[in-house]
Amino acid sequence: MWLARAEALGAALVLAVAALGLALVPVTTSACVRALVTAVGSAEITGLSEAGTFAAAEAVRVFVLDADAQALPETLEGVPAFDDDAVSHLVDVRDVLIPTRWLTIALLVLSVTWVAVRVRTPGGRHVVAAGLRGAGSALAIGASLALVVGLLDFGSFFTWFHGLFFEAGTWTFPSSALLIRVFPTAFWVSAGALWGGLVLMFATAMFIAGRRLGFTQGNYGV
């Protein structure tokens, strides 16, 4: 019995981390970044044209997701763009995002394989159901708390979150920096809310799947 519980707990952890990474994928797409930049009115504060603002946002997006991306421009439309400090921070961001994507892929493959193997037996289906419910519950609680804290005091939450991955002083910039003007606080509030919403959606799906799998086994023995 304790082995089954340990397996379910480990599976819940893997599934939860995989869901967090998967929820990040839509948020970092070109279409989503462009939509968020438009929604928060970045073009009105960058000193660039609308096309130039989108170009700056896309250059940053590609830079942090691709180790072979082109160097970021020092100027755009005659306006100072990305200096050494900004580039250094974005390299740090890339060093987090790229491994995160590979980890997400690995965990998704592991999760799908595990589920496909374990659902073949009644005992395995019980463990899968427990793992799905555990992951769904943990994600729902964590995402809900993060959304509430973020809405109540986004500044502190933003600082805490960055402190998990980056050294103090390496990710703060003056309000005049193009990086801040392209991606103002409103952008991160919106992106964070979207990510949290997607995590909650995945959490709900996993919890429902776990309940249904457990119900089927408990009532029909299959």
Q: How far is the C-alpha of 16 from the C-alpha of 107, rounded, in Å?
A: 10
Is the predicted pLDDT of residue 214 greater than 80, yes or no?
Answer: no
Helices (H) and strands (E) in the chain, counts: 8, 2
Band of the pLDDT at 220, cuts 50, 70, 90? very low
Query: What pTM does this model have?
Result: 0.89
Query: Each residue of 115-166: pLDDT tens digit?
Result: 999 999 989 999 999 999 999 999 999 999 988 888 888 888 889 988 989 9
Is pLDDT at 104 greater than 90 in this prediction? yes
CB 193 within 8 A of CB 112: no
Task: For residues 90 and 107, give the distance between their C-alpha atoms in angstroms, rounded to a whole number.
Answer: 25
Averaged pLDDT, 44-60: 95
What tokens were used for 57?
Answer: 């946002």
Report yes or no: 204 and 136 within 8 Å, Cβ to Cβ: yes
The dihedral through the CA atoms of 22, 153, 60, 58 has a sign that is positive
39 Cβ contact list (under 8 Å, min separation 6): 190
88-92, 161-165, 215-219: segment of lowest average pLDDT: 215-219
Q: Positive or negative CA dihedral for 173, 174, 175, 179? A: negative
Residue 197 has pLDDT above 70, yes or no: yes
Do 48 and 79 form a contact (C-beta atoms < 8 A)?
yes
**Are the C-beta atoms of 124 and 38 separated by less than 8 Å?**
no
157, amino acid identity: F
Cβ of 121: how many Cβ atoms within 10 Å? 11
